[in-house]
Chain A
Amino acid sequence: MLTKRIIPCLDVKNGRVVTGINFVNLKDTGNPAEMALRYMEEQADELVFLDISASVERRCTMKSWVKEVADRIFIPFTVGGGISSAEQAREIIALGADKIALNTAAVKNPEIIEECAALLGRQAIVLAIDVKEVKPGRWEVYIEGGQTPTGIDALQWIRQGVDLGCGEILLTSMDRDGTKIGYDIPLLSQVATMVPVPIIASGGAGTKEHILEAFNVGCDGALAASIFHFGIVDIPDLKKWLKEQHIAIRYLEA
């Protein structure tokens, strides 16, 4: 049986993993490859790395840390952050990443989704979307690290992204991000049954119950950052508990 996925997210700046709240007070928490290895050993199902360096620095450092992660781990990982051409996407996959995440560039130029899917296969293309609820039941897409509203309706953009060829949706609620009050369940429950591709819930996870909620409304994966980095939720404990709640999960007794 296909299992639900637990996905730690790591922000990378200048080749180091950083954590902070809303991109301020960033603290250096380690080397990407070493943290990836630790998460692999703790039974994370896959990893997402988002490079938040300024664009000039990003091109230089990405090559070394992406390759180092690929050299060390034997689970799938996604790389995102500032990817703006199919050629850049191809370079990252060639370094050993399994998937690339598109965000701002895809909104500005939706054809990039088609180009990347044609070049790398749709299974390698994750469409990352940051949204804010503008009125009950309506969510707006934001780009450029959540700084710029686009006026685009999130549900419409998700449908378009899937039509253009993305293989997965990583959906982040900016209202919930960093709050630890739980994922945006009304949003996720609509999206999970709306499109055929897997949906990864993001933004707001604070407890293991929040992750269960996302799976119960049909999400395929649950992404979180700080609760895993700071040990608030321990991944093996979480997976054992989810299994007890009858969620299909990959869990091996230590």
Chain B
Amino acid sequence: MIGIIDYGAGNVGNVQRALSFHNERSTILRCPDQINNSIDLLILPGVGAFAPAMSALEKEGWPFFLSQWVEKGHPLLGICLGLHLLCEGGEEGGYRKGLGFLEGVIRHLGTQKYPHMGWNSLEWIRSAQGLEKSCHSNDYFYFVHSYGLPQTNDTVAIARVEEREVSAICLRDSVAAFQFHPERSGSAGLSILKGAIDLLRRHS
């Protein structure tokens, strides 16, 4: 069973529907107390701004719980704003500390046009433990964000926006994160979502 963390930022229903497509059972969690032994993987989705989202997580005691979860090597998958929150911090609306499971700080994209909105391709920059195999070289994924993570040691794939690069997929131990929305990226998105779940489960 997969637990989807609902902290009021964005639509958890669409993530749940994408999981159902793969016959993955999931449940929506508002606070860590709702976690039971059947949950083997957590998803942190989200759209919106960094600081209020971090406050919402803190209010329910998620940062402490998630630190223990990750320390024990349990799988955690971030999507979009979820990727941002997993990093060391974010500069959206003033610096704010993040969960710190992934390296780097979230910054404005600095592009002429923003949000970076639409379908973009991926460029794999280092081994992604087989996740590469869950998509084709000419697949596209749906991005929508104005802030992002510059390339770090955890970045396995980037996307190019105007003349810049942004982390598209990060991997570190039992933590994975997508900047794009796999649940909104058609069949390519569904396939890479499944790939990440399988990879994280093998890891734990």
* Interface SS of chain B: mixed
Contact status B47-A198, CB under 8 Å:
no
Contact status A74-B189, CB under 8 Å:
yes
Q: How many residues of A contact B (CB 8 A)?
A: 32
Q: Is residue A179 within 8 Å, beta carbon to beta carbon, of the partner chain?
A: no
Contact status A5-B186, CB under 8 Å:
no
Contact status B120-A198, CB under 8 Å:
no
A123-B119 CB under 8 A given contacts A2-B161, A74-B18, A74-B21: no
Contact status A3-B120, CB under 8 Å:
yes
Q: Is residue B133 within 8 Å, beta carbon to beta carbon, of the partner chain?
A: no
Which residues 71-94 of A sit at the B interface, judged by CB distance below 8 A? 71, 74-76, 93-94
Q: Is residue B37 within 8 Å, beta carbon to beta carbon, of the partner chain?
A: no
Q: Is residue A140 within 8 Å, beta carbon to beta carbon, of the partner chain?
A: no
- Against B, the Cβ 8 Å flags (1 = close, 0 = not) of A211-229 are 0000000001100000000
Q: How near does chain B come to A126, taking the closest CB pair, in angstroms?
A: 10
Q: Is residue A24 within 8 Å, beta carbon to beta carbon, of the partner chain?
A: no
Q: How near does chain A come to B175, taking the closest CB pair, in angstroms?
A: 24
Interface size class of B (residues with CB under 8 A): 35 or more
Contact status A198-B117, CB under 8 Å:
yes
Q: Is residue B68 within 8 Å, beta carbon to beta carbon, of the partner chain?
A: no
Across the interface, which residues of A come within 8 angstroms of B118, CB to CB? 2-5, 45, 198, 220-221
Q: Is residue B107 within 8 Å, beta carbon to beta carbon, of the partner chain?
A: no
Q: Is residue B144 within 8 Å, beta carbon to beta carbon, of the partner chain?
A: yes
Across the interface, which residues of A come within 8 angstroms of B187, CB to CB? 74
In the complex, the chain B residue whose C-beta lies closest to that of A44 is: B186
Across the interface, which residues of B come within 8 angstroms of A45, CB to CB? 118-119
* Interface SS of chain A: loop
Which residues 134-156 of B sit at the A interface, judged by CB distance below 8 A? 138-140, 142-146
Residue in A71, A75, A93, A220 whose beta carbon sits within 8 Å of that of B142 in the complex: A75
Contact status A167-B14, CB under 8 Å:
no
Contact status A123-B11, CB under 8 Å:
no
Q: Is residue B160 within 8 Å, beta carbon to beta carbon, of the partner chain?
A: yes
- Against B, the Cβ 8 Å flags (1 = close, 0 = not) of A113-126 are 00000001111100
Q: How near does chain B come to A38, taking the closest CB pair, in angstroms?
A: 13
Which interface residue of A74, A75, A93, A122 has the most chain B CB atoms within 10 A? A74
Residue in A75, A121, A168, A252 whose beta carbon sits within 8 Å of that of B184 in the complex: A75
- A155 vs B149: C-alpha distance when bound (angstroms): 33
Which interface residue of A71, A121, A220, A221 has the most chain B CB atoms within 10 A? A121
A-B contact pairs, 11 of them (CB 8 A): A40-B186, A74-B190, A76-B142, A94-B11, A121-B10, A122-B146, A123-B117, A196-B113, A197-B114, A198-B113, A220-B117
Q: Using a CB–CB distance below 8 Å, which chain A residues touch chain B?
A: 1-5, 40, 45-46, 70-71, 74-76, 93-96, 98, 120-124, 167-168, 196-198, 220-221, 250, 252
Q: Using a CB–CB distance below 8 Å, which chain B residues touch chain A?
A: 10-11, 13-14, 17-18, 21, 47-49, 112-121, 138-140, 142-146, 159-162, 181, 183-187, 189-190
Known: A2-B159, A123-B146. 19 other contacts (CB 8 A): A2-B120, A2-B143, A3-B140, A4-B118, A5-B118, A45-B119, A74-B186, A74-B187, A74-B190, A76-B144, A76-B184, A94-B11, A94-B13, A96-B13, A121-B47, A122-B115, A167-B115, A167-B117, A250-B140
